[in-house]
Chains A and B, each alone.
Chain A
Amino acid sequence: DWLCSQTLLHAGAEREMKQLIMQRSAVHLESDAFLVCMNHALSTEKEEVMGLCIGEVEINRIVHIHSVIILRRSDKRKDRVEISPEQLSAASTEAERLADMTGKPMRVVGWYHSHPHITVWPSHVDVRTQAMYQMLDQGFVGLIFSCFIEDKNTKTGRVLYTCFQSVQAQKGSEYERVEIPVHVVPRDAIGKVCLESAVELPRILCQEEQDTYRKIHNLSHLDPITKIHNGSNRPNRPIRVLG
C-alpha cells in the first residue's frame, strides 16, 4: 500500500513537473499577426471565429507567434471551436511553407478564437479543448479575443485578449486554466504572410457561403419564391467583407 501511494505521489509529482516544464513562460505575438487576429475577431459578432497560430518556441520557453491562419468553422454552434484533423494537417503544411520562406523553424504553436459579447476568460469547454490539444503538443497555447463588449453606463467599448494553457491538478480531476503572459511585439512593417492571411478571410467566407447555399439549394421541396429569396440573400457576405 505504501508503495502504491508512493508511486502515485511520484506519478503526480512527475506529472506536475512535466506540466511545469512544458508550460510556456510567455507568448510574444508579432503585431501584424495581432492585426490579423483582430480583423478576424471583429468580422462577426454573431459567432465565434477561430484560427491557428504559427511560430517558433525559443530556448527559454517563450512562444513567438509570427503569423496566424484563419480557419473555417465546420461546427458553428456557440462555444464549439474544435479543429478537425484535416485542418491541423493543412496548417502544418502551411507552417512548413512559412519555415521555408522565412528560414526559421516554424510550426503550429497554438490556436486563437473569439468571444463576441462574452467575457474573455475561457469556458469549461475551452479549457478542455485546450487540454486536448496539449495532449498532442504539451506546449500548445490558446489565445482568446473578446470583442463587441460595451459598458452602457460609461459608453465604453472594450476589446480584450488573453493567453492560457490547461493543467490538471491530479489524474482525473478537472482541468484548470493557467494564465500565460502575452505581449504584442512591435514590427516596423506588415509581413507578407500576414497580408496573405488577411486576404484569406473573404475567400474563406465565400467558401463557407457556397457550401451553405449548396446545401440549401439541394432542398428540392422549397418553393421557387423561397429559392429566389435564398438566392438573393446568399452571396452578399463575401462582397461586404471585401467592401
Chain B
Amino acid sequence: MAASISGYTFSSVCFHSANSNSDHEGFLLGEVRQEETVSISDTQISTAELLQVVEIHNHDPCAQLFSFYDYAGKVNEDNLNRILKDRRKSVIGWYRFRRNTQQQMSFREQIIHKQLTQLLGVPDLVFLLFSFISTANSSTHALEYVLFRPNRRYNQRITLTIPNLGNTSQQEYKVSSVPNTSLNYAKVIKEHGAEFFDKDGVMKDIRTIFQVYSALQDKVQAVCGEVEQSERVKEKIQEDVNKLKQQIALRKRKTAEEERRLREAQNAESHPTSEENSEPSETSLLSRVAFHAPSAPERPGTSPNPPSYSDLLSQEDSLLSSSSSPTSAALLPRPQAVGSPGHPTPGPLGMGLDRQAAGQEDDDDDDDDDDDDDEDSSEYENLVSEAAHLPMVSASVLAQGRPAALSPDGDARGSQTS
C-alpha cells in the first residue's frame, strides 16, 4: 500500500494542531484506488500486482476532544454524523496529534478505530499519528508522523509521501538538440511545424496554458478573499464567545461568593443555639485555619517553609545554562515505544526533558514575557535534577537511524521514496 497527503492538508493539520493546547484530532478525507503494476519476468508470464493507493486530499478537524466518543471510548454515531455531515462518504481515515508521546496507538484509539471502521464501513481505515517533541531549550522542534493500518496484522505502518513539485515535475528543459541535417526531416518539420508554432515562433500551447493558469490564479485570489472574510467573522465570533465566557465566569464567582457569605452568616447565627451543629462548623473553621497556617497540628509532616518558587527557578536556571551548549543540543531521545522497532534511548532523560519542553510550549502564549527559559513549572524539578546527573547525549549517538538528528556539521540524506 502507498499513501500520500497533499502538502496543503499536511500544513493545515500542523496549523490546527499548533493552535490547540491539548491533543487534537480529526478525520482524513480522500480516496483509495487500486493501481495495477505489471511486471514481466524471464518466464514471459506477466504478473500483475494490485497496489492500493490512499490519497488524502483534505481533513476535517474536530473542534474539541471527546466530540464523537466518550471517556470509555464509545463512539456516538449521531455526533459522528453531525460532525461529518455529507463528508462522511469520503472519510478514509482519522488522525490524532499528541505532544511528547510514544508513536503507538493508545488503547482508546484502538477501540475507537474499530468502531469507526464498522460505522463508516471502511474496512481499511487508516490512522495518522502526529507526535511533537522539542529540545530542552525549545529552539528545535520535531513533528513526527506515522500512518497506521490498524486493521491489518501487527498494526502495519505505511510510508506517507507528500507529493510536491520536486518529485512530480517532468524532465528538465533540454538545452541541446541532436543535430539533424537530413533534407526530408527538415521538409516534414517545416510542413507540420505551423501546427505548433504561431507567427511569432512561440508555441501556441503556451498561450493556452497561460490562460488556464491565469484563470486558476484569479479563482484562487477570489477564494482567498472569501476565506479572509470568513476568517474575520470567525475571529469576531471567537472574541464574543471569549467575552461571554469571562462574564459567565465572573457571575459564577460572584454567586459562589454570595453563597459563601450567606453560609457564614447562617453559621454565625446558629453557633450559639445548638451544640450538635457546632462540630462540623468547627472542623470546617479549623481546616480553614490549617490551610492558612501550615504549622497547624493536623499537618505535622509539612515543613513550615516549602521552597519558594524563585529558589526553584534559579536552581533550574543554572541547570539549563550548563546543559544547553550550542553544539550538543540534539533532539531528545524518545521514550521507546513498546514493540516498535525504535532505537534504545536513555529513557528518564528523554521523558523528563520532553515534558519540560511541553510545559514551555503550552504555557508560552499565556504569558508574553521574557522568561521563556524560566517558566518551566516546579512540578518537573525532580526530573530536571535527575537529568543533570545523566551524561549529555551527543547528537552523533542519536544520529544512527535518525537522519534528522545529526550534529550541525553533518548532512544527512534521508530521502523519501517516490
Decide whether A and B are members of one complex: yes
A contacts, CB < 8 Å to B: 25-26, 28, 31-32, 34-35, 38-39, 42-47, 58, 60-62, 116-124, 146-164, 176-192, 195-196, 198-199, 202-203, 205-206, 212-213, 216-217, 219, 221-243
**Residue of A199, A239, A241 touching B212 (CB-CB under 8 A):** A239
A154: chain B residues at CB < 8 Å are 103, 146, 157, 340-342
Q: Tell whether, in the assembled complex, residue B220 and residue A202 are in contact, meaning their CB atoms are under 8 Å apart.
A: yes
With A119-B412, A233-B171 given, name 19 new contacts (CB 8 A).
A25-B372, A38-B14, A45-B164, A117-B415, A124-B409, A157-B146, A157-B159, A157-B416, A158-B143, A177-B408, A179-B139, A190-B15, A202-B216, A223-B178, A223-B180, A224-B193, A231-B205, A238-B217, A241-B165
Q: Does B66 contact A (CB under 8 A)?
A: no
- Residues of A within 8 Å of B21, CB to CB, are 186
Q: Are B146 and A156 in contact (CB under 8 A)?
A: yes
Q: A185-B364, A195-B231 are in contact. Are A46 and B224 (CB under 8 A)?
A: no
Chain A contact residues, majority secondary structure: mixed
Q: List the one stretch of B292-300, B302-310, B397-405 in contact with chain A.
A: B397-405
**Does B312 have its Cβ within 8 Å of any Cβ on chain A?**
no
Query: Would you call B203 and A181 a contact (CB within 8 A)?
Result: no
Provide 17 A-B residue pairs closer than 8 Å at the C-beta atoms, listed in order of the A residue. Answer: A25-B370, A26-B372, A28-B368, A45-B166, A117-B415, A118-B412, A123-B408, A160-B142, A181-B139, A185-B364, A186-B18, A186-B20, A190-B15, A217-B202, A223-B179, A228-B196, A238-B213
Question: In the bound complex, do residue B162 and residue A181 qualify as a contact, i.e. CB atoms below 8 Å apart?
Answer: no
Which of B5-13, B45-53, B268-276 is the interface stretch? Answer: B5-13
Shortest Cβ distance from B163 into A: residue: A240
Within the assembled complex, what's the spacing in Å between the Cα atoms of A34 and B175?
Answer: 38
Interchain residue pairs A-B with the least CB separation, the first 7:
A46-B166, A60-B370, A223-B177, A179-B139, A231-B203, A42-B7, A45-B166
Residue in B closest to A203 when the chains form the complex, CB atoms = B217
List chain B residues, Cβ under 8 A from A240.
165, 168-169
Are A225 and B177 within 8 A (Cβ)?
yes
Contact B14 A159 (CB under 8 A): yes
Tell me whether B56 is interfacial, beta carbon within 8 Å: no
Interface flags, B157-201, vs A, CB<8A=1, else 0: 111101011111111111111111000000001000100110000
How many whole Å from A25's CB to the nearest CB in chain B?
Answer: 5
Which residue on chain A has the smallest CB distance to residue B210? A235
A183: contacting residue among B20, B138, B217, CB under 8 A: B138
Q: Which residues of B contact A230 (CB under 8 A)?
A: 173-174
Say whether A155 contacts B217, CB under 8 Å: no
Taken together as a complex, chains A and B put the C-alpha atoms of A62 and B365 apart, in Å, by 12
Q: Is B203 in contact with A216, judged by CB distance below 8 angstroms? A: no
Residues of A within 8 A of B342 (CB): 154
B202 in contact with A179 (CB, 8 Å) = no
B414 touches A117 (CB 8 A): yes
Which residue numbers of B lie inside 8 Å of A, CB to CB?
Answer: 7-8, 10-12, 14-15, 18-21, 103, 135, 137-147, 157-160, 162, 164-180, 189, 193, 196-197, 202-203, 205-206, 209-210, 212-213, 216-217, 220-221, 224, 227-228, 231-232, 234-235, 238, 324, 326, 329, 331, 340-342, 360-361, 364-365, 368-370, 372-373, 401-417
A189 touches B372 (CB 8 A): no
Please measure, in the bound complex, the distance between the C-alpha atom of A196 and the C-alpha atom of B309, giving whole angstroms. Answer: 45
* CB neighbours of B235 from chain A (8 A): 188-189
> How far apart sit A155 and B401, CA to CA, in the bound complex (Å)?
11
The answer for the CA separation of A240 and B373 in the assembled complex, in Å, is: 43
Least CB distance from B39 to A in Å reads 23
- Select one of B144, B167, B205 contacting A156, CB under 8 A: B144
Tell me the minimal C-beta distance from A139 to chain B in angstroms. Answer: 14
Contact present for A189 and B238 (CB under 8 Å)? yes
Task: Tell me the smallest distance from the CB of B237 to a CB of chain A, in Å.
Answer: 9
Report the separation of the CA atoms of residues A206 and B212 in the bound assembly, to the nearest whole angstrom: 12
Identify which of A31, A46, A124, A228 contacts B167 (C-beta below 8 A).
A46
By the criterion CB–CB under 8 Å, are B141 and A182 in contact? yes
Nearest to A42 among chain B residues (CB) is B7
Kindly list chain A residues whose C-beta atoms are within 8 Å of the C-beta of B143. 158-160
B316 to chain A, nearest CB (A): 15
Q: With A46-B165, A117-B413 given, is the CB distance from A224 to B189 under 8 Å?
A: yes
**With A235-B210, A237-B165: A187-B19 Cβ-Cβ less than 8 Å:** yes
Q: Indicate if the CB atoms of B220 and A159 lie closer than 8 Å.
A: no
Residue of A nearest to B204 (CB): A231
Q: Known: A34-B15, A199-B220, A225-B189. Contact between A151 and B403, CB under 8 A? A: yes
Contacts of A190 in B (CB 8 A): 15, 227-228, 231
Closest chain B residue to A26, Cβ basis: B372
Alpha-carbon separation in the docked complex, A96 to B344 (Å): 51
Which of B14, B140, B179, B205 contacts A162 (CB under 8 A)?
A: B140
Contact status B404-A146, CB under 8 Å? yes
B406 close to A119 (CB less than 8 A): yes
Partner among A34, A45, A198 whose Cβ is within 8 Å of the Cβ of B416: A45
Closest A-chain residue to B239, C-beta based?
Answer: A188
| Chain B residues with CB under 8 A of A32 | 15
Max chain A C-beta neighbours (<10 A), residue from B160, B175, B179: B175
Give every chain B residue within 8 A of A231 (Cβ-Cβ).
196, 203, 205-206
